[in-house]
Chain A
Amino acid sequence: MIKFAIKSLRARWLPVLLVLISLTASMVLLLSVDRIQTATKNGFNQSINGVDLLVGPRSGDIELLLYTVFHIGQPTNNITLQTIDDLAARPDIDWVVPIALGDSHKGYRVIATTPDYFEKIRYAVDQPVRFQTGQAFSELNHVVVGHQVAKELGYQVGSQLYVTHGSGRQLSRQHDDYAFSVSGVLEPTGTPIDKAVFVSLQGYELIHLGWQSGRQLFGLDQVDVSKIPLDKLKPDTVTAAFVGLKSKVSLFRVSRSLSQYSAEAISAVIPSLALSELWSIVGMVDKVFKLLSWIVIGIATVGMVTMTLSTLDARNREMAILRACGASPLFVSGLVLTESLLVGLSAILLAVGLVFMVTFAAQDLLLAELGIIAEVSWLSSQEMITLLTILSVGLVSSLLPAVMVYKRSLSSSLLK
């Protein structure tokens, strides 16, 4: 039967080829959307690691996650340094890394923090943030830049840069009275860290010395910076803090007790929970894409069935000959079904092969350009299920012409 089917398909190679192409293309689309979705989701979930709690002024979980991890948006309130010190003093808390947001540099967010940031914050699965060149800041005027910032703006260790007050979108003033010098460039991480500029909390405080409620009262060029005692350069407030616990077991207890902290209204958020909450919103877009590619597969399947149906009349004769030689109606309808299955299976194999080749080829490119590690993974069980679903959709829709052939060959007379 398979031999028959192959010969019959080969005799109609052009329409068969076109149907094969449209089926393959639609499956490649679905598989790619699937893979991109998985990759974004992984990348998304791997944006932060090694942090047990995000602490910030009382706000929504997602909001806190957005500005601490993704550097998107800005809280309306701050938390005091006193709160940070209180946190650090708790016996169940291992470390606290405060951050202060607000400034930017040529569109990239400036994050003021402590050198601990580069020690404690991880991404992906326990990947530390490494320096490609240079090191963390040790002087007031030191700045560390993320991989993409360095790449786009051509910075290397020793480059000079100015920080802009505010997000840089509206009319904002440059802190052009104080130049920073790049002390280190980070390795690519595939996370928002790549697009960030890091300064020390003291440096951040320094450039804001002459400022009050968004207006500059005096410039740093009017004072002798070296005369300012370092321990006086401590901001009163910070935006948020990353917190590591001594024991993960106490996670929920600590998070609850921090939310009841009395001196100030603060929130403590578990990053992984907030991430999955955020993904349930962001992931909608991918769901829509997936739905669309299923529709495309549906259209391609209809195309295949249409081709099969349109050839049936022309094949009446062939069916009669086979019947005359003793073939059962089951055989002739099975022949039609086998042909559809062969086309469907070849399309699946082609699509899988293509997706592998593309992932393989794009691997180096993604790593070099975006710092994303796209693994050439074997078909996931999820993808297997997808392909099986497609195959059964194809099988069920091929049953229509097969049943038609069956009925017709039952009732048709052989001789006229």
Chain B
Amino acid sequence: MILNFDQVTHHYPGDEAPIELPSFALSSGDRVLVMGPSGSGKSTLLNLVTGAQPLQSGSIELLDYHYATLSARQLDRLRADHIGIIFQSLNLVPYLNGFDNALLGLQFSKRRSARSPSQTQEVLQISHGLGLSEALLNKPANQLSVGQQQRIAVIRALLGRPELIVADEPTSALDERSTNQFMTELMESFDPSEQAVLMVSHNPLLIPYFDRVLELPG
């Protein structure tokens, strides 16, 4: 088992009622899509899973780690070691080139860099699968197209094979064709024997790429 998300509710200060989130579990090879209307708490769920929002009630377990028992610093380290994150857009640090941005995935985790001994090789291999040329990797981040930027974010998230891949609307800036291409490549690049994917999207086009859909009530 990779992730166990159990009876979690989250109350933002100033809000009337807490957001109640569904319970679910992820095992290796699982691909779960989270859907729901705007404001239903999809991003909140991902922020809790990545440890960016402190857990208030309920239980979250990643591998053998119970979030309730971890400090903020330990959550940072857990995220670095075991979670790859893909944002909606603006995924890259503007002053680094594509290559360095991809390597950021290993920068803060001894575990992941140890699992990826020949870093350059690995970046090239994943980027090949995603249809990115080596020349593109050497371009400054702000000279890449949005689709190319998202692919580099995927390389970053996959490097060092973290157990959980988390993505918040990664295709919202892409057109239909690019979306399909991106999803196909992503699902081909991840390793079902030890990784799981948790993605948030509004887009029903993505449903076929997943095993399960988690619907949040509005």
A414 on the B face (CB < 8 A): yes
Residues 312-326 of A contacting B (Cβ, < 8 Å): 317-318, 320-326
- Report whether A318 and B94 are in contact in the complex, using a CB–CB cutoff of 8 Å: yes
A327 on the B face (CB < 8 A): yes
B residues less than 8 Å from A407 (CB atoms): none
- Report whether A326 and B93 are in contact in the complex, using a CB–CB cutoff of 8 Å: no
A413 on the B face (CB < 8 A): yes
Interface of A is mostly: helix
Question: Nearest Cβ distance between residue B78 and chain A, in whole angstroms?
Answer: 8
- Report whether B43 and A413 are in contact in the complex, using a CB–CB cutoff of 8 Å: yes
- Report whether A416 and B88 are in contact in the complex, using a CB–CB cutoff of 8 Å: yes
A10 on the B face (CB < 8 A): yes
**In this complex, which of B44, B87, B105 has the most chain A Cβ atoms within 10 angstroms of its Cβ?**
B87
- Report whether A321 and B77 are in contact in the complex, using a CB–CB cutoff of 8 Å: no
Question: Nearest Cβ distance between residue A4 and chain B, in whole angstroms?
Answer: 8
Interface extent on A, as a size class? 20 to 34
Chosen A-B contacts, 16 in total, with CB atoms closer than 8 Å, are: A10-B95, A11-B94, A317-B90, A321-B87, A324-B85, A325-B104, A326-B107, A328-B76, A329-B76, A412-B52, A413-B47, A414-B46, A414-B52, A415-B46, A415-B85, A415-B168
How far apart are the CA atoms of A326 and B156 in the complex, in Å? 12
Q: Mark A401-416, 1 if CB is under 8 A from B, else 0.
A: 0000000001011111
A residues less than 8 Å from B95 (CB atoms): 7-8, 10-12
How far apart are the CA atoms of A304 and B95 in the complex, in Å? 20
B108 on the A face (CB < 8 A): yes
- Report whether A322 and B93 are in contact in the complex, using a CB–CB cutoff of 8 Å: yes
B40 on the A face (CB < 8 A): no
Interface extent on B, as a size class? 20 to 34
- The number of A-B residue pairs with CB atoms under 8 Å apart is 77
B96 on the A face (CB < 8 A): yes
- Report whether B168 and A326 are in contact in the complex, using a CB–CB cutoff of 8 Å: no
Question: Nearest Cβ distance between residue B90 and chain A, in whole angstroms?
Answer: 5
Q: Which residue of B lies closest to A8 (CB)?
A: B95
**In this complex, which of B50, B80, B93, B107 has the most chain A Cβ atoms within 10 angstroms of its Cβ?**
B93
- Choose among A10, A321, A416 the residue that contacts B168 (Cβ–Cβ < 8 A): A416
- Report whether A415 and B108 are in contact in the complex, using a CB–CB cutoff of 8 Å: no
A residues less than 8 Å from B174 (CB atoms): none
Spell out B's residues near A (CB within 8 Å).
43-44, 46-47, 50, 52-53, 72-73, 76-77, 79-81, 85, 87-88, 90-96, 100, 104-105, 107-109, 156, 168, 200
How far apart are the CA atoms of A129 and B53 in the complex, in Å? 81
Q: Which residue of A lies closest to B95 (CB)?
A: A11
Q: Mark A376-416, 1 if CB is under 8 A from B, else 0.
A: 00000000000000000000000000000000001011111
How far apart are the CA atoms of A414 and B109 in the complex, in Å? 18
Question: Nearest Cβ distance between residue A39 and chain B, in whole angstroms?
Answer: 45
CB-based closest 10 A-B pairs: A326-B80, A11-B95, A326-B108, A414-B52, A324-B85, A415-B168, A413-B47, A415-B43, A325-B104, A415-B46
How far apart are the CA atoms of A414 and B85 in the complex, in Å? 10
List 6 other contacts, CB 8 Å, given A325-B80, A327-B107, A413-B47.
Answer: A7-B96, A326-B108, A414-B50, A414-B52, A415-B85, A415-B168
- Report whether B50 and A324 are in contact in the complex, using a CB–CB cutoff of 8 Å: yes
A residues less than 8 Å from B50 (CB atoms): 324, 414-415
- Choose among B44, B47, B81 the residue that contacts A326 (Cβ–Cβ < 8 A): B81
Q: Which residue of B lies closest to A9 (CB)?
A: B95
Question: Nearest Cβ distance between residue A409 and chain B, in whole angstroms?
Answer: 10
How far apart are the CA atoms of A211 and B174 in the complex, in Å? 108
B residues less than 8 Å from A329 (CB atoms): 72, 76
